[in-house]
Amino acid sequence: MKSWANKENCGIPVGKGLLEDQTFLGNIFIFDDQIKFKQSNMLPYPGITEINNIIYDEKYPDYCQLDVLFNESKKGRFTEGKYPVLLNIHGGGWIVGDKSYRRGYCMMFAHEGFFVVNINYCFGPKYKFPVNVQNVSRAIEWIYENKDKYNLDLENVSVCGDSAGGHLSGMALACQQNKELRDKLSVPEPKVTINKAILHSSVLYFDRPIFYFPIMSTMVKSLTGVMRRKDYSAYEFAKEVSPANYIDKDYPEIMIATGRTDFFTKFQNKDLVKKLDEVGAKYRYRHFKTFLNSFHCFHLKPWMNGANRACLECVKFLMEDLVKDKSELDLVLSYKEFKKQLKK
């Protein structure tokens, strides 16, 4: 089926993977992102430099491209002459999506002084796990290689992702912590240490029955090649594909954000909290119950109350260890507050 995606968003060409023939499910995801694109991604934060479609993995030049967003006037706000870094990984069921659909979310962090690296990666079923994990590893290498060019503070690097992007963020943390996992997935030891993560509506366990129901099973098959739960135990990466299997007490601090009506991932996120408690790892758990908007990836509608609050808390979560005076956190504006200020 022909892709329903626009060839450009904000005048920026979208990734090749988005324009290739799609399943009906992939087009539903595209449609959802397109209808909320303007409200989610077009708020004009002032002073932000945006450089688009930088190839970060020459092995997959049509798929592995990234955008960087930063405000030069905010350089040195937290560390003299440098920016803290946020790597953002979009969702889309491992089959579709584009970094441009997370542009507005990334702007919120760039506005406060972060250097945001917003990536595309390879999709299934053309490219199966662990190719996308290897893509993320290569994006982290790109951050290291460009630390001097962009004045990046490698002591303060965070990762963020939603849904499938949350899964890949979790995989980045797991690979950072576990050499055996890196070896199995052909991922090099990272030269950059991630010290904080934000996981929105994230997929963390693949052995759960819900992933082998209709629709969900289509996405899992695209990622792993496994369609039926009874075949899962024989899958080559049955353990490795689930980042929660690698939680330990030394895990970076995580903010876990879920919604009350997110029946895809909220239960496994609760299981993650239990495991983090068991090992004594540091985390923040926020379960949003806002009426009308607590669905899967609800944070992508920042004009609605729960999402507005969730995005604000995420920005403050990354800032709280960086600011010299905690009162600075009170000055951070939410999406709705910033939009209201623009109208004055």
State pLDDT tens for residues 216-275: 888 999 999 987 888 888 999 999 999 999 999 999 999 999 999 998 899 999 999 999
Q: By C-alpha distance, which of 39, 30, 26 is closest to 6?
A: 30
Q: What share of the chain is helix, strand, coil (3-state, %, to 5)?
A: 40, 20, 40
Q: Which residues contact 79 (CB under 8 A, 6 or more apart)?
A: 153, 155, 156, 322
- Quick check: 52 pLDDT over 90? yes
Mean pLDDT of the chain: 95
**Residue 292: its pLDDT value, please?**
79
Rounded mean pLDDT, 114-128: 97
Q: By C-alpha distance, which of 22, 72, 30, 32 is closest to 50?
A: 72
Rounded mean pLDDT, 72-79: 96
- Quick check: 291 pLDDT over 80? no
Q: By C-alpha distance, which of 62, 110, 113 is closest to 88?
A: 110
**Residue 203: its pLDDT value, please?**
93
**Residue 69: its pLDDT value, please?**
98
The pairing of beta strand 283-288 with beta strand 253-259: parallel
- What are the structure tokens assigned to 160, written together? 């963020």
pLDDT in tens, 150-178: 999 999 999 999 999 999 999 999 999 99
User: 100 or 290: whose pLDDT is higher?
Assistant: 100
Residues 123 and 141: their CA atoms lie apart, in Å, by 20
Tallying the residues shown for the chain, one arrives at 344
139 contacts 119 by C-beta, under 8 angstroms: yes
Residues 33 and 17: their CA atoms lie apart, in Å, by 15
pLDDT in tens, 187-227: 999 999 999 999 999 999 998 877 778 888 889 999 999 87
Q: Which residue reads 């956190």 in tokens?
A: 329
User: 215 or 5: whose pLDDT is higher?
Assistant: 5
- What are the structure tokens assigned to 265, written together? 């991932």
Q: By C-alpha distance, which of 168, 190, 69, 188 is closest to 122?
A: 168
**Residue 87: its pLDDT value, please?**
98
**Residue 230: its pLDDT value, please?**
83
28 contacts 35 by C-beta, under 8 angstroms: no
Q: pTM here? A: 0.97
Q: 109-113, 217-221, 226-230, 311-315: which range is least confident on average?
A: 226-230
**Residue 14: its pLDDT value, please?**
95
* List of domains in the chain: 8-342 (3.40.50.1820)
Cross-strand partners of 8: 13
**Residue 197: its pLDDT value, please?**
98
**Residue 343: its pLDDT value, please?**
80
Q: 120 falls in which pLDDT band (50, 70, 90)?
A: very high
